């Protein structure tokens, strides 16, 4: 019998497992830790230790082995004692005993036992699935300040071009201010023709206004009224054989296969009373069928798909917990 396997199973659920006649294995919860030298992050774990003074049987290990292997408590206790005798023989002979997934026991002197726990398995259920990993710290590098020579040269060229443009603009302004204004004979002719044109345009506009007022010309468009009426009665069009009717004939009726049953009644009149009561509450209730016991089943509501029925069942159960789902497929 692999006694260490049963001890390993119990260490997941208990912090102390006593092996009668050998000692107690203790599990203590340790927090997550970070190794600053190796940059290894380890999750929380259960640290194992050994106490040779805890040898009195508390029944935990013996009862567990009896339940797992289907044997009596006495037979389980005898199997533990046999395994412990073998462990002590190995320690006396080889001075070293290794228990898989638990630890290594070393005999020092005659009675002192040194225990070294193995880290191959984490017995802390809270940290199930968590593994150690290496993290690298971020290194902050100093920012180097430098000047781009090409950009500096470009900026100086732009500044020089702006200064040149400003100087040119100021020079042109000075020249324009010093130019004298001279009147010519052509300018007098221009103003004469412009005055004649303005007077002619005013007379033309006034003439148009007088004509509109005299003949009452409306600016709004006039629409011609209808000058005839249709008197012929057209025969009605029969579309009974159209494609629309054919498509409607091809539509298959919805088949309801799932029913939310609220009760079953031996007398049909009682079932009809229940239907009236449910309809007053807003449910499309109806009688589904008679079951194999001859009872009339009354449904709150019926559905074509199981998904719709399950959703409605959970909603109705909040008010009527006795309802159940029935399918006739």
Whether 288 contacts 326, CB under 8 Å: yes
Choose the most confident range, by mean pLDDT, from 133-137, 206-210, 229-233. Answer: 133-137
Check: CB of residue 27 under 8 Å from CB of residue 46.
yes
Model pLDDT for residues 198-219, shown as the tens digit of each residue? 556 666 666 656 555 555 544 4
Residue 228: both structure tokens together: 């005839």
- Contact in structure between 324 and 314 (CB atoms under 8 Å): no
Residue 10 has pLDDT above 50, yes or no: yes
Q: What whole-number distance in Å separates Cα of residue 74 and Cα of residue 64?
A: 12
Cα 20 to Cα 17, 79, 113, 299, distances in angstroms: 10, 11, 16, 64
Segment of 63-72, 109-118, 188-197, 245-254 carrying the highest mean pLDDT: 63-72
* Nearby residues of 81 by Cβ (< 8 Å), 6 or more positions away: 20, 21
Q: Which two tokens stand for residue 174?
A: 């000075």
246 or 271, greater pLDDT: 271
Q: What is the pLDDT of residue 252?
A: 61
Q: How confident is the model over 243-264, as a mean pLDDT?
A: 68
Contacts of 207 (CB under 8 A, 6+ apart): none
> How many angstroms separate the CA atoms of 55 and 58, rounded?
9
Q: How many residues does the chain have?
A: 329
Alpha carbon distance 212, 145 (integer Å): 81
How far is Cα 17 from Cα 8, in angstroms, rounded to an integer? 9
**pLDDT digit string (tens) for 274-299?**
999 999 988 898 998 888 888 889 99
Which whole number is the average pLDDT over 36-45?
80
**Average pLDDT of the chain?**
75
What percent of the chain has pLDDT above 90?
Answer: 24
pTM of the model: 0.41
User: Ranked by mean pLDDT, which of 252-256, 312-316, 319-323 comes out on top?
Assistant: 312-316
* pLDDT above 80 for 304: yes
pLDDT at 233: 44
The whole-number pLDDT of residue 80 equals: 93
- Give the mean pLDDT of 173-188: 46
How much is the pLDDT for 37? 77
Domains of the chain: 3-134 (no CATH), 258-327 (3.30.70.1070)
For the chain, first and last CA: distance in Å? 54
Distance CA 85, CA 141 (A): 64
pLDDT at 320: 82
Give strand ranges (E) for 37-146. 40-42, 45-51, 96-99, 103-108, 112-117, 133-134
Assess whether pLDDT exceeds 50 at residue 174. no
- Residue 103 pLDDT more than 90? yes
Q: What does the alpha-carbon distance between residue 292 and residue 121 come to, in Å, rounded to a whole number?
A: 58
pLDDT digits (tens, 9 = 90+) for 59-96: 899 999 999 999 999 999 999 999 999 999 999 899 99
φ and ψ at 138, to 5 degrees? -75, 135
Q: What's the rounded mean pLDDT across residues 143-169? A: 54
Q: What is the dihedral of CA 185, 187, 193, 199, to 10 degrees?
A: -130
């Amino acid at each position: 019998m692999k006694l260490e396997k049963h001890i390993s199973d119990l260490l997941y659920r208990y912090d102390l497992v006593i092996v009668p006649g050998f000692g107690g294995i203790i599990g203590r919860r340790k927090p997550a830790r970070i190794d600053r030298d190796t940059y290894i992050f380890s999750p929380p774990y259960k640290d194992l230790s050994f106490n040779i003074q805890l040898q009195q049987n508390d029944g935990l290990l013996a009862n567990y082995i009896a339940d797992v292997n289907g044997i009596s408590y006495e037979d389980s206790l005898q199997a533990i004692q046999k395994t412990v005798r073998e462990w002590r023989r190995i320690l006396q002979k080889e001075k070293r005993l290794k228990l898989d997934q638990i630890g290594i026991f070393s005999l020092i002197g005659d009675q002192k036992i040194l225990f070294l726990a193995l880290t191959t398995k984490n017995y802390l259920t809270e940290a199930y699935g968590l593994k150690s990993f290496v993290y690298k710290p971020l290194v902050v590098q100093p920012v180097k300040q430098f000047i781009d020579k090409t950009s500096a040269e470009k900026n100086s060229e732009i500044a020089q071009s702006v200064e040149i443009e400003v100087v040119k603009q100021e020079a042109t302004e000075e020249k324009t201010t010093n130019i004298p204004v001279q009147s010519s004979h052509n300018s007098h002719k221009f103003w004469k023709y412009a005055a004649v044109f303005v007077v002619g345009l005013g007379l033309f506009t006034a003439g148009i206004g007088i004509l509109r007022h005299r003949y009452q010309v409306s600016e709004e468009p006039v629409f011609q009224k209808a000058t005839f009426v249709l008197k012929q009665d057209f025969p009605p069009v029969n579309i009974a054989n159209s494609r629309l009717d054919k498509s409607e004939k091809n539509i298959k009726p919805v088949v309801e296969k799932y029913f939310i049953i609220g009760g079953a009644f031996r007398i049909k009149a009682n079932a009809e009373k229940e239907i009236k009561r449910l309809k007053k509450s807003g449910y499309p209730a109806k009688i589904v069928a008679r079951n194999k016991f001859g009872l009339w089943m009354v449904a709150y509501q019926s559905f074509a798909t199981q998904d719709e029925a399950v959703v409605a069942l959970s909603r109705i159960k909040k008010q009527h917990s006795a309802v159940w789902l029935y399918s006739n497929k």
